[in-house]
Amino acid sequence: MDNKKKRDAISRTSVVKTPEVQALCEIAQLVGSAAKLETTLSEILRILHDTLYMERASLVLLDETAENLTIKASYGLTKEEKERGVYNLNEGVIGKVFRSKSPFVVPDIKSEPLFLNRTQARSITKSSIAFIGVPVLLRNEPVGVFTVDRLFAPEVSFEEDVHFITVVATLIAQFIELNKTIKQKEDLWIEENRTLRAELDKRYSRHNIIGQSKVMHEVFQLIDRVAPSTATALLLGESGTGKELVARAVHHAGPRVTEPFIKINCAALPENLLESELLGHEKGAFTGATSFKKGRFELADGGTLFLDEIGELPLNLQAKLLRVLQERNFERLGGTKTISVDVRIIAATNINLEEAVARGRFRADLYYRLNVVPIMLPPLRDRVEDIPLLLDFFLRESNERNGKQMKLSRDAVEFLKSYTWPGNVREMQNLVERMVIIKDDGLCKMNDLPSVMLAEPERLIINEQPERRKTQINGDSRAGSKAQKSSLKDMEKEIVEAAMKRNGWVQARAARELGISQRQIGYRIKKYGIVPPEHIRFKS
């Protein structure tokens, strides 16, 4: 036979696989790609049944106490039979295989006194059943026993079976060891992550609110003081400052934590629906009321009712709300039955209620009823220290949702620290989400930010009235000629520098005169390279 024929013969024979080789290939592939222990072990036993026609198979492993052997995975056993498979280390065939670390063959289980048939699964009588057990060894120490049932036949070679099953047991042992290592690393990673998260939460957040600035610590202290009581809290602050988060924090830190937290936005519903939403209605109370409905007060009974945008409540409903707050009872629309409730009230608004009272837009008696414990939430521009923390939090959340790894460049973060954030935290959250979705290169730089944000620093000073701008530059009419410069940036630099000179190079005073924050004037000083005379130092 020439070389070509030999190669062809070898090629033809190499693709012929015996059932045993086929089973080992499938098991090896499964072990290399799988992760879940019990699922993988059960799948290995299924492969043995399908390719080698073995009746039953089970993997018996040491339990956590290391005192008993229990069936960890099986094929051909019912759930009840599997649960009965618990063995002492010193009993039966399985105990013998485990202790001796050697295979054991029972050609006919009916004639073997050591065979316990603990699972009671082997009751068929069509022929004798042979039982093969081999130890599962890790570093020559037993961790379990791999057992297989075969229908006995004279032509079956137990020696070949034992050899094959021992190879499978070795693969299983390696998979168990690999799975154990992976699980240990996962547990360690989870614990480290939990510890790190707890430390970060301890340092940077309380009540699930991120913040380490002084003004936020003052808010946290107020939450801690008001939460244990039943007092009404009034949350004041600009839109987007996190009033609902604070309301939930007060609820969850108080004695009503296991009771409902119900929210209603007083500005989101038309007046004709708002009363029904608050108090509920009876069937037939109005057109379309086909059944009775509980209002928010009833739903919040025993818990907390959060009245968001309370300043937008119409005057006629303010009177009805006041009555409920005073008497703690009401009637549903279209009903006559008086319903009593025990509800803690937390209200929130972004308008000046005192001014609204003075203008007759808000009832004074309701205002005093709500304003028991006022909590003022600071705007984001007054929480500079918290801006990087919040950016990081929203980036992590948005990256996870969108399957990305977006980061912010240092110059972008520095700019965002100096930005005024008219929409506060909500604006930041929306900005981060938009940038994560739009950007594809993984890094958001300063000039990737929306143009309206980048234009904001010039807008604050340059857009002021010309007469005021003239005064800011030199304090007299001679500034008019200087204001004719072609560059708005040159003009702004002169405005800032002149204000600093007039205020003895004290940034806080100059910022106050210009009507901007100290952080904003600091941004401009750095941006334009403004430096004081040699004998003077900047003062904050």
Q: In this structure, how many other beta carbons lie within 10 angstroms of the beta carbon of residue 95?
A: 18
Same domain, 38 and 71: yes
How far is the C-alpha of 204 from the C-alpha of 213, rounded, in Å? 9
Tokens describing residue 39: 């699922």
Residue 447 main-chain phi, psi, to 5 deg:
-75, 0
The position carrying tokens 């570093």 is: 139
Residue 352 lies in a domain: yes
The position carrying tokens 């309206």 is: 452
Element containing residue 71 per DSSP (H, E): strand 68-75
| Predicted TM-score of the model (pTM) | 0.52
How far is the C-alpha of 160 from the C-alpha of 156, rounded, in Å? 9
How far is the C-alpha of 396 from the C-alpha of 399, rounded, in Å? 5
Contact 300, 341 (CB under 8 A): yes
Which of helix, strand or coil describes residue 196?
A: helix
474-511 as b/e, with b when 16 or more CB fall inside 10 Å?
A: beeeebeeeeeeeeeeebbbbbbbbbbebbebebebbb
Same domain, 249 and 317: yes
Q: Is 466 exposed, middle or buried (0-12, 13-18, 19+ CB in 10 A)?
A: exposed
State the CATH number of the domain containing residue 349.
3.40.50.300
Residue 115 lies in a domain: yes
Same domain, 390 and 349: no
Same domain, 135 and 161: yes
pLDDT, tens digit only, all 540 positions of the chain: 555 555 555 444 445 568 778 888 888 887 776 667 777 888 888 888 887 767 788 888 988 777 888 888 888 788 888 888 888 888 888 888 999 999 988 877 666 656 656 555 555 444 567 888 899 998 889 999 998 887 655 555 678 888 888 998 888 888 888 888 888 888 888 787 767 766 655 555 677 899 989 999 999 999 999 999 999 999 999 999 999 999 999 999 999 999 999 999 998 888 888 989 999 988 888 888 888 889 999 999 999 999 999 999 999 999 999 999 999 999 998 888 999 999 999 999 999 999 999 999 999 999 999 999 999 999 999 999 999 999 999 999 999 999 998 999 998 999 999 888 989 999 999 999 999 998 887 889 888 888 878 766 444 444 443 444 444 444 443 444 444 444 566 777 888 888 888 888 888 888 877 777 777 788 788 888 888 887 666 555
Q: How far is CA 462 from CA 10, 290, 453, 483, in A?
A: 87, 59, 15, 10
Same domain, 344 and 400: no
Residue 191 lies in a domain: no
Regarding beta strands 233-236 and 344-349, do their DSSP bridges make them parallel or antiparallel, or are they unpaired? parallel
Which of helix, strand or coil describes residue 518?
A: helix
How far is the C-alpha of 215 from the C-alpha of 382, rounded, in Å? 8
Q: In this structure, how many other beta carbons lie within 10 angstroms of the beta carbon of residue 525?
A: 20
Same domain, 386 and 357: no
Same domain, 250 and 387: no
How far is the C-alpha of 260 from the C-alpha of 342, rounded, in Å? 12
* Domain that includes residue 510, residue range: 488-528
Domains identified in the chain, total number: 4
Same domain, 360 and 280: yes
Regarding beta strands 233-236 and 209-210, do their DSSP bridges make them parallel or antiparallel, or are they unpaired? unpaired
State the CATH number of the domain containing residue 502.
1.10.10.60
Same domain, 262 and 338: yes
Q: Which of 160, 182, 204 is the last residue of a domain?
A: 182
Residue 207 lies in a domain: no
Q: Which of 399, 431, 448 is the last residue of a domain?
A: 448
State the CATH number of the domain containing residue 412.
1.10.8.60
Same domain, 24 and 148: yes
The position carrying tokens 């799948």 is: 43
How far is the C-alpha of 102 from the C-alpha of 475, rounded, in Å? 101
Same domain, 402 and 360: no
Q: What pLDDT was estimated at residue 488? A: 61
How far is the C-alpha of 347 from the C-alpha of 69, rounded, in Å? 61
* DSSP secondary structure of 390-405: HHHHHHHHHHHHHT--
Residue 197 lies in a domain: no
Same domain, 27 and 159: yes
Residue 540 lies in a domain: no
Q: What pLDDT was estimated at residue 466? A: 40
Angle between helix 315-327 and 271-279 (nearest 10): 10
Residue 368 lies in a domain: yes
Residue 88 lies in a domain: yes
